[in-house]
Structure formats: structure tokens, C-alpha cells
Structure 1
Amino acid sequence: MKAVRLHAKWDPRPGFKPGPKDVEGKVCWLGSKVWRYPEVRVEQVPEPKITKPTQVLIKVKACGICGSDVHMAQTDEEGYILYPGLTGFPTTLGHEFSGIVVEAGPEAINRRTNKRFEPGEPVTAEEMFWCGHCRPCADGYPNHCENLHEMGFDVDGAFAEYIVLESKYLWSLKELEGVYEGDRLFMAGSLVEPTSVAYNAVIERGGGIRPGDNVVILGGGPIGLAAVAILKRAGAAKVILSEPSATRRNIAKQLGADVVIDPTKENFVEAVLDSTNGMGAKLYLEATGLPQIVWKDIEEVIWRARGINATVVIVARADAKIPLTGEVFQVRRAQIVGSQGHSGHGNFPRVISLMATGMDMTKIISKTVSIDEIPEYIKRLQTDKELVKVTMLNP
């Protein structure tokens, strides 16, 4: 079968010391420190088979290109990949996917029915493979599993024709049937994972909001746009998005944004204060991956706003230092939280239910392509910001 594979050279930066969970030449939890000269290509690989009673064979129907895929293939001036997290190459890319169950092991349980998965069930999957028995998992934090593996990062992903996964990571998309027809059902299903990343960031880690609160989202990529939709449905009075791309600002309006700011032409701080009558926001989402650029404006609006108790959630991955002024957060009784991943706390089923009841995230899909076009579009997305989400559709 065809699969989109990424190859790279293991060449640690000078002074890099492997961590206890790194595997020399194979896996590193700080990918941008070791992987060099990435190459993405379509290859022929063996079709996967079920080998355990808890596994499910899935025919991949849709898989979206994530910013992480782009950054694993994108390099700095020295040829090192930009993605800073867990990676192990070569691997098949792709983790934002949906598909149809082809075969299920006798112990592969469907949460929807509490019975074995049946062929034909539409499904999506978590991309973070948590163990369930380490201390973070036992404490209810699977996104921070000590034995974590990630689909499309260090184990084979879904830019392929078929994939085999453990049933515990799967979620049924049956609820979307009748709401989304044909390919759109699978397009929506492929967006459950990134939308759950946003849900985890603003609802779980950020603590959510009370109806009537104001929120500010910096960055109109898929995660930022998903946050717009979620927070508007959560009752935000003003959802404010800061994003340079006019295309992305327009999509944000369709998803519920009340105010959109072009930070290249407007003063972000003044625009936020003006649109909130000087009160500022309860929640700020940093979804740009450029904290060295946007952080000073976040701090200034928190400092000048009349409202206190703001929370800043960092969701974008970036190997960059934040220019933090502690005094701002002390005096304004503000806080910063980090958010990684999407699993746990019922995020996936809640996002699926939101999609089933009117939150149409397929609006962010700019283009659908074939598996053979994925390497080209992973490269294009490095610079073309008019494309938001590019999604592979398999016949």
C-alpha cells in the first residue's frame, strides 16, 4: 500500500545530551535537537495486520496535514527540523484522521456499544498512545504519559491506505451520520483530533469561561479557529481573534468571532481594550508559536486592562523563550498554563457531540488532495498561509 513517510538523519546538535527516554539514532523527545535534513516521500509499504485481540484494522478515509507535520519537514538554517517534540524516523506521517473499521479483534471494544467493533463503523482516533499504568496516566493525565508514543511522530501514522490501532484509542463517529454526508462525514471526523487539542486548551487547562466573559485568541490556524468555535458556543461575550491572514480572519467570523484584528495593520493592545470597554479578557490563547513576538502585547493588555484574573494558555509548540515579566502576573493576579494534547476528560466525545449539533469545523478545510499530493502540500504549507487545512481523501 502507499504511505507518506518522513526520513531524516540523526545528527545531534553540539552539546546535546540524550534523555533517559531517548533511543540513540531512533527516538528523541526533543526532535529539533537531533533530526536533520528531513525528506518526505510516498512509498510502498506492507499493509498492516491485526496481531493482538484488542486491535482494529481501519481503512483510512481522510487525514489532515497538521502544523506538526509541516514543522517536522521544515528546517532551520542548519538543516534541523523545527518540530521540538517527540519524534522517531523513519515513520509514516499523519494523525488527524478518520476511517472505517474493516476488522476487529475479539477484545476490541467500541465505547459506543460496549461491544466488539463491527465492520463499517466510522471512527477517529487519539494520536497520543498512553499506557494507562504510569503515574501521570493513573492520576488522569494521559497527555503526559511517561511511556508515550504518538501516531505519525514516532510510530506509523495515517497518511496511508490502512492503519491498525488499539481499540482504546478509537472513538465512534456514528453520531455524525445524517449530519454530514459522504466524504464530509470523514472530513469532519478528521478534525476531531485538532479540535480536541483546542478544547483541552481552553476548557480543561484554561479552566473554561463563564457566559459573558471575553476571550482573545492569538493565531488563526486550525487550533485557534477551533478555539473560536468552542468558546463562542461556551458563551463568550466577545471572541477576539488576532491573525494576519484575511482568509483565516474571514473563516473565524464564520465560526463565531466577534472581532478580528490584523496585527500587521492594527495596534493589538488598543484593539482589544477598545472592543472590551477597557476590561480585557478572561482567557488568552497563545496559538501562534511565536511567543517572542506576541508575548509583549499579551502582557501589555493584561497590565492595562481593568479586569483581573486573566489566564494565558500556551498551546502552540515552539522552541523559543518567552520574555516574561513576573510583575505583570503578580499585580494583575494573572496566570499562565501550558496545554499539551487532547486525550482524557471526555474531550473527544464532547467535540464529536458539538460537531453533531451544529459546530461545523469543515469550514476550515481549504483543499482536499490525494495521498500522492501530500508531500507537495506539506511543503506549500510552510509558506502559504492562505491554506488553512489541507486534507487527504482516500477513495
Structure 2
Amino acid sequence: MENPAKPTVMAKQAEIAPPAPELPEETYQSAVDSALRLTDGLYPEDSGNPDRGLVRMALTYALAQAKLIRPIVADAVELKKWAVPYGGPEDNPYLQIDKVGSELAEKMLHMPQFVKLPLNGVYMEERGWLTAPQNPPAGGEGGPQWNGRDAAPGDKPDGNFLIIDPVDASKSLVVGRKMPVTGIVILDQSGNLKTGSIVSHVDRRLLFYDGKEARYYDFDDAGNTVTARSTNRHGGCPELEDVKFATHARRIESHPDLVLWQKGRHELERIGGFAVLEILDGNIHTCVDPRGQPAQDELFSAGIAEAAGLEVSDTEGKPIDYGLILTELRRGVQHRIPYAISCNRDVHLQTLNSLMAIVPAANQTSK
């Protein structure tokens, strides 16, 4: 007798709860207005930053998204509604909560404050590349009207590219692990980071790069104020047995003989933006992905981590080629680079060495 087909993620989750209703237009507008007030207080018109418009977009989006998402994550009943799949791959569908950030970005790109930003491409994980017509819209407003789906820029002129992961780790919400973050970066055509944010939706942490320096913030529950937050990343280099690392359990399963897995301490079942914040706070030493992440995840997590002064490289110790990742993404290709992010140089070198070393099968022990 044949085994019955395994239910897909979408089929299983569709039984959890009815989908959440669409957020009203005024809810989005209120979140943006509040975020703009904060952003303009930190970066007024006379701030002297030549890329202030791009900085304004990245920070405003992060703060507005936090204002929209955090109340959902904090309410177990609401979260069930927003964890319902609505499309995408059957085995890895997009959830209703992913949709909020995409809707927010599209609405912002059509607002007067942002419609004329010098952007040549906009990419969102759930929607792919958005396209803009060559001619400005009627009515004298000027600027592109972003629309369309999955049309990679390809050979369009070089310029600035906006990359957004509206809710990284949204699938973890379904199984009760609350580690979702939003990542947004703006890069030039060579992959150089101009500005970007990582914002956590389970606490008050916001890491922001304004093109000159990285700033670490706390924001209040209402999202109306931000204050400087101190980093507490580890100094020195502990013995490998005391190194706290982050990675997905499935990475350990697919690479079971690596020394780091056998000797280090697996403290966090997460990679990407949330792990970057945990490194800054001293909760872990290093984050490792021996497979590499999707382009949008790697661009915001590794790129902003590097801007914040953390040690970042591929798993062979070479610099990450963000330009290559972006170029391939512009062609519609997801180029994954295995990488490691660490609190300092000594820990990073030790981590890389432990990834290159293999534990003989006879010496492996279960942890």
C-alpha cells in the first residue's frame, strides 16, 4: 500500500484560521506619517547627506513596517490570522503577514516624498522585481510609477537598487519561534551599500546604516521615539567549546561532520538579520550558513553587519561579492554564497577553521 501524499505547508496552514482582512489605507498612511516624523528628526533637510532621500526611504520604511507588524506578532490570536498562506510555492508559501511589507513599500514608492527617488530597480522577496515605465505619468507629478511583477532590470541602466525582505523568518512564526525581522537595503550597481536597516518585530531593536556610520537604536512600543542602544558584542576569543553559534538545524543535518557543529554551542536556530542583532548584543559569537541564503537575505544581513563593524566573509575567508549577488539577481538568478558573520576577527578565524575541519565519523558525538 502506498503512503498517502504528505500535506503541503499551504494545505496544513489553511486550516488554522481564516485569513486576516486587508489593512485599511489609513493604517498604512498613519504608520508612514509617524515614521517620517522620526526619520526627519534624525536626518533633517540640512543634514548634509547627499543621499538623504535614499536614507529617508530606508529608515522610514523600517520604522513604519515595525509599527504595522509588531502588534500582529504580539497578539497570538491575530498572528494566527496573519500566518495563513495566500500564494507562492506550495512547500514554502508566502503568508498574509509577508503581504503587509510589500503593500507598504509599493504605497511608499508612490507617495510624493519618495516617488522621485533615483532608483533603477525595486525588488521584494514575495513579488520579485517591480518595473517602472520609461515616461513619467500624466499630471505633472514626475517620477516612475512602480508596478508590474517579476521583470528583472537586466540590461537597464545602472543606478540604485532597492532590495526588501518584508518579513524575514515569517515561517518561523507558524511553529512558534518569534524571530521575524525586516531587512531593507539600497545598493549601487556595484553592490556598494548606500543605506539599509534591520528591524526586529519581537523587541525594540533597529540597526541602521546611513551611508556613513551604523547606528543601533531602541524604539518605543508605539514607534514614536528612538534612543541610542549600546552594543555588547563579545571581545576576545573563547575556546571552541564555548563559542555560541547560530545556524538552521537543517544546515547541521546536511553538513554533520563539521567541527563547529560537534564542538561549539548551537544557541540560536536562526541565521540572517535576527542573528546579526544577537551578535551585536553579545548573545552569540557567530552566525554561519554553509549553504548561503537567498540574495535579498544575504544582501541585507551580511551587508549591514559589515557596515556595523562585524567580521563578515564567505566560508573560505574571502570577501562577499555583493556586486555579483546583485548582478545575478538582476538577471533573475538567486546566487547563494556560504558565509559567516562574527563578533570579532579572532572568533571569525576560529569559526572558519572549524568549518573547514572534518570530524572523523568514529569520533563524532551527539550533542
Q: TM-score, normalised by structure 1?
A: 0.27
Task: Identify the structure with the greater helix proportion.
Answer: 2
Q: TM-score, normalised by structure 2?
A: 0.29
Structure with the greater relative contact order (CA < 8 A, sep ≥ 6): 1 or 2?
1
